[in-house]
Every structure is written in C-alpha cells, then in structure tokens.
Structure 1
C-alpha cells in the first residue's frame, strides 16, 4: 500500500471530507466513517457551510468524532466546502461523503486497494462503486440496490458514460460524489467549481478526466447508501437556467451528442418540472440548434418532467 503523509507521529492514509449544513444526518455519516474496517489511518474533516460565530453549539457537537471541523463563513456552497476540506487535509487519498449518505464498512479498504494498484501502473484512478438508494421514512423505507447497472469501462469517456443514451430508471449510469476516492494530488490539481449550485459532481468528474493519466474505476460491490429526498437537497430543485448554462459552457465544446442528450434528459426535465414554458422553448431551441436528435432514453427522461417529482421518483425506482 502507498504510505500516507506524516502529520506529527501519525501517518494519514485517507482523508474523508464531509461538507455539511448541519443536517441531523451528519452523525450517521460520521459513524459510518468511524466504522470502516480499514487498517490504515483515516482523517475525518467536516466542513460546515456556516458562520462559526453564529452556529449553534448543538450543530458543532454533531461533528463529534471529526479530526478537523472547519467553517466556510456560510453560503459558499458545496464546491467551496470540498476545496477547503482538501486544502486542510493530510492524506495520500481523499474520499468525499455527503452528510446525508453513509458508507458500508469495507468501502475504504476495497477502494484504496484498487487505487494503489492503479497508481503502481502509472494511472491516476478515480474510484467509485455501486450504491443503494434509500427513500421514504423509517417505517416505510424503499431501497433499490445495485446502482448503476452498467459500470464505467476503463476506456470510456466519463461524459459519454453518464449522458449519452441515458436510460430511464434508478439504475441508470451514475458516479455519485459519496462514492469517490482519488489521490489528494489530483484533488488539489482539479478544484471543485465554487460557483456551481448544481452539477458540481459531474463538472468535477468531466474536468478531472482531462488530466493526463486519469482513469475511472467502479467497484462491482454496493458500498454506499445514498439517501434521497433529504431536507435542503440541491438535487430537489429545478434550476433549468443554471443547468443550461453549465452544459453550454462545458459539454457543448466536448461532443454534440453528449450535449443534446444531456439537455433532453436533464435541462428539459427541470423546465417541465417548474412548468416554465419559456424555459421549455429555450431548451428545445438549443436542442434544435445542434441539428442532432437526442436518444430515446434521454427524451423519455426529459418528458417525465411533467410528472410530479414525488411520483417521478417512485416511478424511476420501479424501472429496473
């Protein structure tokens, strides 16, 4: 195993960065980190996107068990929080965990084994895994496991894997932030875009893929629980303007097919969810302007925006 950085007398192998707004689920996320069976040393960094002076004591107490507790000053978004966590971390590897998700005990052990092997072969691996998605309340939990059904291949371009011919259903192509483990070196070189409220994870993955030697590996096992519908979740919004601006800036120069399938599946769906008909016309105008027809799957996902969000989430989980 690659040796970690030395901090005082302690060797840090993996730094875990958890951005948080102080949600009740933070304690569960921390507990899953401390429950890892990894034999090396794990440094846990919690970054509150809050003002330290005005943060309630009980919120700070929710980070009990962290090695470092940082504050952004408030309202700086997840990208800033993750960058701050990386800057103040000490590990050879960095793993990201959202404060409403949790890890299975062998997650870090299995990922570090793969990442170390890839690095020994001269490759800079971003390692993910399959997940289970959990929705509903405690007494009516619904779990869909084995996501995604199709894993990314070593030679796949990450934007093609994620967006081209994106299929409906919970098991569609995905690479969740809470599954990511990468070298601290790469995380320092490719910073998270601090201006983004939406698509932060996709943006980071696409830009990181452009660094020479970077490869993506997804482990077959289910090692992370992703909790849907958490209070304050950005993913529950319908900001089609932000989505369109991001796709036009980053995806359109890369590949026309990636761009048009993304607009159909994501941006069009947001406009329909919001019942913003001028937004629908704007997105369709951009699609027509590419002179390329989106795939059937992305069209189906986009049109599903007419269905209320709660019903859509239920429907997607039924499609396997």
Structure 2
C-alpha cells in the first residue's frame, strides 16, 4: 500500500504514522500538484505487475483486488474495472446500471448515454486495476477536469488496451461531503477537453458530452449565445433525435425539477428515460 500525500498535510501524516505495518509506504510531496501527479508518483513507486487506485474519500470491498486480479488474469485484460456503490445523502445505488461491453469504444460507452440520469454508465478511478506497464507508458494528464475519462479513452480507443468490468460492486464512491473538481460549475475546462479530444471521439460521443456534461454547467444562467453554440455544434455533428430531446430537458427543465423526477422514478423502481 503506497499512500501519496499531495502536498504537506501534518494531520494526515500524523494519522498514518500511527499505523505500524511494513506493507504501508507513505510518500509526502513537497507541494500539491493535483491528483494526476499523485497517481503518477504512486505508479513510479509501485513494484507489482498490477496497480489499483483508491481516492482518499472512497472505499474498497475486502475482496476487490482478489476478484479483479482473477478476472484480469483469466481474460488477459489490461484494465479491470467494477461496479460500485454510489453513496450520497439520498442513499446507496449500484452504478453503472449498464456495463461496458468488451471491444466497445470507451468514449461511446461513457459519453453516448441513452438517458439523462447519472449512473447509467461509469468507469470510476477507485474501481480500476491496471497493468503497471501501461500506466508507465501512459501517465495521467494533469487536467482541471475529466482526467479519468481522458486516461481511459486514450488507453482503450487510442492505444488499444483491453478493458473488462467485474459485475459486482467492489468499491464505494462517497459523494456529497465536499465539492470536487468534477462538481464545480466552470464550463471552460469541459469545452477545452472536448476540443482537444475531437479526433478521438465519435460524433455520438461528442454530442452526448455537449448535452449531458456541458449544458448543465450553465445552471440557471443559460446564456442564449451558449445555447446557440451548442445547437450549431449538434447540427454539425448530425445529432440524433434522442439528443435533441435530451438537450431540451437539460436546458429548459430546472435541475431541481429533474432531481425530483429522478427521485420519484427511483422510488417507483423505474429506470429514468
């Protein structure tokens, strides 16, 4: 177990010093440089054939590594993910509802969603088990947002790495305790990421990213010029009728109302459209 502390943190260091176990190695960075750098440092320090990641606010199930290594060795996969328990103030849910299929484009799986509700598709970092050689060849890029998607899409769709997903929930994703980069409302990093990855993403993945990821970031402001820009992009991408319906819902139905509808659907046991 290698714990990389992203910059001086006396409280974390003191707590870790209370653990007397030779299997634990702690590496405190002299300054904070973000999660991507911390992960890359951990990969460099590791010595095994496989590397698994665990963000500091997430949890693993006791059998996670054993089950994933068995699946990875049996399938000869490069990357093994899993389902997880999404834990929020509203309760626990098992995500993703729709599993990644081997050989599928990672970009299409993650971004070309069929519905609006979160949790339909997911490949989260704390579920990943990756062959170390691939992480050394392809480090995480330091991005203000979408670091996880960026790495997975590059690995699978560009470099041809094989990905499989264990169907059991083997981790817990704790959400709601604090605001993270992924929950900030600044849309600029998402626009920048889309422009940088256009050559990799299909038209369906690009249109899905515009509607599901970028449009909601404008919240109640909803500038008309931004809507016009998104519409122009969708026309150029020849977006499907489903995508236009999604845009109408994401742009014109208030987030609070969408959340109420999703909560009602969850209570009724119905999958959101």
Which TM-score band applies after superposition, normalised by the shorter structure?
0.7 to 0.9
Q: Distance in 2 between matches of 1:74 and 1:251?
A: 33
The answer on whether the counterparts of 1:152 and 1:217 sit within 8 Å (CA) in structure 2 is: yes
Task: Tell me the SS of whatever aligns to 2:48.
Answer: coil
State how far apart, in whole Å, the 2-side matches of 1:201 and 1:156 are. 17
- TM-score normalised according to structure 2 size: 0.84
Kindly indicate whether the alpha-carbon contact (under 8 Å) linking 1:268 and 1:284 is maintained by their aligned counterparts in 2. no
Kindly report which structure 2 residues correspond to 1:274-293, keeping only aligned pairs within 5 A, or say none.
Answer: 275=221, 277=223, 278-293=225-240
Return closer, same or farther for 1:201/1:307 CA change in 2, 3 Å cut-off. Answer: same
CA change 1:106–1:238 in 2 (3 A) is same
The question of 1:112 aligning with 2:95 is answered no
Q: Does 1:59 align with 2:12?
A: yes
**How much has 1:252 moved relative to structure 2?**
4.8
CA RMSD of aligned residues (A): 2.5
Residue number in structure 1 paired with 2:38: 81
- Give secondary structure in 2 for the equivalent of 1:222: strand
Cα distance in 2, alignment partners of residues 304 and 47 from structure 1: 43
Q: CA deviation at 1:193?
A: 0.7
SS in 2 for 1:239: coil
- Hey, what's the Cα distance between the residues in 1 that align with 2:33 and 2:249? 31
The offset of 1:104, in angstroms, is 0.8
Which structure carries more relative contact order (alpha carbon 8 Å, separation 6+)? 2
Quick one: distance in 1 between partners of 2:14 and 2:249? Answer: 41
Counterpart pick for 1:217 among 156, 161, 164 = 164
Moved over 6 A (4+): none
1:43-54 alignment, distance < 5 Å? 44-50=1-7, 52=8
After superposition, the Cα gap between the structure-2 partners of 1:114 and 1:267, relative to the gap in structure 1 and judged at 3 Å, is: same
* Uncovered stretches (5+) of structure 1, i.e. residues with no partner: 1-43
Q: Which runs of 5+ in 2 are unaligned?
A: none
In structure 2, do the counterparts of structure 1 residues 316 and 63 end up closer, same or farther at CA, with 3 Å as the change threshold? farther
What is the number of residues matched between the two proteins? 260
| Cα distance in 2 for residues equivalent to 1:185 and 1:203 | 18
How has the CA–CA distance of structure 1 residues 233 and 142 changed in structure 2, closer, same or farther, with 3 Å as cutoff?
Answer: same
Q: Which residue of 1 aligns with 2:197?
A: 250
- Contact 1:269-1:304 at 8 Å conserved across structures: no
CA deviation digits over 1:107-149, x for unaligned, max 9?
Answer: 0000001111233xxxx4211111111112xxxx61112x112
Partner of residue 87, structure 2: 134
Which of these residues, 162, 176, 181, is aligned with residue 124 of structure 2? 176
TM (norm. structure 1) is 0.73
1:246–1:105: structure 2 CA closer, same or farther, 3 Å change rule? same
